[in-house]
Amino acid sequence: MKVEIIKALDLKTRTDLLVLPVCEDRVMQGGPVLQLDKLLDGTLKQLVEEEDFKGKPGQGLTFHTMGKAGALRVALLGLGPEEKVAAERFRRLAGRAAEVARKYRVKSLTLACPVPAAPGLEVKQAVGAMAEGLSLGLYRFDKYKKEPEGRPPYTGPQKVSVIGFGADGRPYTDSGALKAAVERAEALAGGVKIARDLVNEIPEVMTPEELAKKAGELASATPGLKLRVLDSKAMARWKMNAALAVARGSDRKPCFIELGYAPRGAGRGPGLFLVGKGVTFDSGGLNIKPGEHMATMKMDMAGAAAVIAAITVVARMKLPVRVTALVAAVENLPGGRAYKPDDVVAALDGTTIEVGNTDAEGRVTLADSLGWAVKHKAGRIVDLATLTGSCVVGLGPHTAGALGNDEPWLDQVCRAAGEAGEKVALLPLDEDMEDDIKSEVADVKNVGATRFGGAITGALFLQKFVKDTPWVHLDIAGPAWADKKRDYAPVGGTGFGVRLLVHLVERLAQERQA
């Protein structure tokens, strides 16, 4: 996809699809819309009235111009009320533009990006958000699907022309800034697509070793990104007996993946560690899941996918921050050697874990990854894990739960999420619930004594392994996977967390410069 910034919108210029965002109840007020109405002999105004198109968010009106304008088709898409327009509105709108583009298999597309005087929204941000939404909305995982009539799958327009308009209605002239915004958007979207592909791949293919192989391919293609993989023998030498226990029921060997990015000038001080849950399939183990809960459990490595993709983007963007991504990749199956309820396993840091339920396997694997991060002097940690159904029950499918042991660090992560357009909500790391995970036979137990606050007991368990390191845990069990199509994500892995993490590293880079 070739993106070009244009400086004026000539409605006579040939394009397959012209996308015009419009604010609610102001459809016939924008300059380009009025010009277009003129070209169409006033029929546009009529059409808008007849179709009752108001410019509400989610509303769209696509029509053929019958050769009266340079654009073959025009899509008027609703931005919602002017005073509420924010970057996310543009992202979602562009996601819908992607659907229109797919429907007509357009080869060339023009995106107009009129930015009303919304509080704190700059034209370059809006343009970046649109580029991001378009690219993400075009994503499909179709490698196992035949197209009808053997035609090649549609991958998006070859050429996209972008123009930004300021609140005064004039074209935005700093095309360098817009170009940079589009490039950054494409880097972010590229990362999200990497994560989606990793999650959507079938579990028979996406085994722990395959995940390591994919991480290796990304590392070889990305200057500055280094891969280290521990096989199960090396994991045993490092005493990662918790992750190894989870993996034992499966014939697929586990592995420990470390991706390192240490740019020159970022210093050798304590770095940022991104830890992802990498259960390539979660059957529940001996505490086997009922069928309706087991389906989609290929997504149980979405945290791993997010950290692998995010560090790749960070390296591609050459951000001046030292980052390490860690994944203990395992498959959780019931087998002849499977770990059992009542077992006690010792994690890398020596903490012993009583297995109360083999389906609470994520935290057992994370115990070793977090232990590794602490042992390697992590300055700050963020972990992303599809950890609990409880979090989805509490927060719904769109929002990740955020828990941590350090207020300023939690605050940074939540702000980064907000900028990225990814939803997180704070949950309390309630130490009054510690009793819940006390064990009679070991230092800690992997499940709570009650069914209440499962996302919290999960985080309290993880806290044991981070010691005093500033740490945030993001329970992404809900937003990692879309059961229904979303504005800029089809059904399947969403790539949640990638944009949030890159924004977070950008914040750290700014902090260093300040």
Question: So which residues are the catalytic ones?
Answer: 289, 363
* Interacting residues with ligand BES between 460 and 489 (CB under 6 A): 477
Q: Which is nearer to Mn ion, 273 or 281 (CB)?
A: 281
Phi, psi of 344 (to 5 degrees): -125, 130
Q: What mask, x for binding ligand BES by CB under 6 A, covers residues 296 to 315?
A: ----x---------------
- Which residue stretch of 37-45, 58-66, 311-319, 358-366 sits at the interface with ligand BES (rule: CB under 6 A)? 358-366
Taking alpha carbons only, the member of 160, 316, 102 closest to residue 225 is 316
Query: Is 42 in contact with 56 (CB distance < 8 Å)?
Result: no
Q: How far is the CB of 244 from Mn ion (least distance, A)?
A: 17
Under rule CB under 6 A, residue 388 binds ligand BES: yes
177 sits in which H/E element: helix 175-200
- Residue 43 touches which member of ligand BES, Zn ion, Mn ion, none, C-beta under 5-8 Å by kind: none
Q: How far apart are CA 197 and CA 191, in angstroms?
A: 10
Q: Which of 362, 371, 394, 493 binds ligand BES (CB under 6 A)?
A: 362
10 Å CB burial of residue 50 (0-12, 13-18, 19+) is exposed
* Beta partners for residue 403, in sequence order: 473
Q: How far apart are CA 49 and CA 276, in angstroms?
A: 51
Query: Footprint of Zn ion on this chain (CB under 5 A)?
Result: 279, 282, 300, 362
Q: How far is the CB of 282 from ligand BES (least distance, A)?
A: 5
At 122, list the tokens: 């700059």
Q: Which is nearer to Mn ion, 270 or 389 (CB)?
A: 389
- Which residue stretch of 12-20, 221-229, 360-368, 432-440 sits at the interface with ligand BES (rule: CB under 6 A)? 360-368
Q: Which is nearer to ligand BES, 85 or 387 (CB)?
A: 387
Q: Which of 16, 197, 361, 383 binds ligand BES (CB under 6 A)?
A: 361
In the block, tokens 């967390």 appear at 497
Q: How far is the CB of 277 from Mn ion (least distance, A)?
A: 10
- Binding-site size for ligand BES (CB under 6 A) equals 16
Q: Which of 360, 456, 489, 508 binds ligand BES (CB under 6 A)?
A: 360
What residue number has its CB nearest to ligand BES?
A: 389
* Residues 141-168: b if buried by 16+ CB within 10 A, e if exposed: beeeeeeeeeeeebebbeebbbbbbeee
232 sits in which H/E element: helix 232-237
Q: What mask, x for binding ligand BES by CB under 6 A, covers residues 180 to 219?
A: ----------------------------------------
Under rule CB under 6 A, residue 43 binds ligand BES: no
At 368, list the tokens: 């070793």
Query: Footprint of Mn ion on this chain (CB under 5 A)?
Result: 282, 359, 361
Q: Which is nearer to ligand BES, 437 or 508 (CB)?
A: 437
Q: How far is the CB of 48 from ligand BES (least distance, A)?
A: 43
Under rule CB under 6 A, residue 454 binds ligand BES: yes
- Residue 388 touches which member of Zn ion, ligand BES, Mn ion, none, C-beta under 5-8 Å by kind: ligand BES
Query: Is 221 in contact with 256 (CB distance < 8 Å)?
Result: no
Q: Which is nearer to ligand BES, 249 or 362 (CB)?
A: 362
- Residue 263 touches which member of Mn ion, ligand BES, Zn ion, none, C-beta under 5-8 Å by kind: none
Q: How far apart are CA 305 and CA 195, in angstroms?
A: 5
3-state secondary structure 328-360: EEEEECCCCCCCCCCCEEECCCCCEEECCCCCC
Q: How far apart are CA 430 and CA 439, in angstroms?
A: 18
**HSE, side-chain direction, 13 A CA sphere, residue 50:** 6
Q: How far is the CB of 299 from Mn ion (least distance, A)?
A: 12
Q: Which of 125, 222, 250, 390 binds ligand BES (CB under 6 A)?
A: 390
Contacts of 150 (CB under 8 A, 6+ apart): none
Under rule CB under 6 A, residue 328 binds ligand BES: no
Q: What mask, x for binding ligand BES by CB under 6 A, covers residues 259 to 298?
A: -----------------------x----------------
At 455, list the tokens: 């996302």
What DSSP string runs through 50-87? HTT----TT-EEEEE-TTSSSEEEEEEEEEE-GGG--H
How many DSSP H helices and E strands does the chain contain?
15, 19
Under rule CB under 6 A, residue 389 binds ligand BES: yes
Strands 471-475 and 380-385: parallel
Q: How far is the CB of 443 from ligand BES (least distance, A)?
A: 18
Under rule CB under 6 A, residue 359 binds ligand BES: yes
Q: How far is the CB of 405 from Zn ion (least distance, A)?
A: 23
CB atoms inside a 10 Å sphere around CB 511: 10
Q: Which is nearer to ligand BES, 88 or 300 (CB)?
A: 300
Q: How far apart are CA 23 and CA 165, in angstroms?
A: 13
Under rule CB under 6 A, residue 447 binds ligand BES: yes
What DSSP string runs through 390-454? HHHHHH-TT-EEEEES-HHHHHHHHHHHHHHT--EEE----GGGGGGG--SSSSEESS-SSSS-H
Q: How far is the CB of 285 from Mn ion (least distance, A)?
A: 7
Q: How far is the CB of 279 from Mn ion (least distance, A)?
A: 7
Q: What is the gyration radius of the CA atoms in the chain, in angstroms? A: 24
Residues near ligand BES (CB under 6 A): 282, 300, 357, 359-362, 386-390, 392, 447, 454, 477
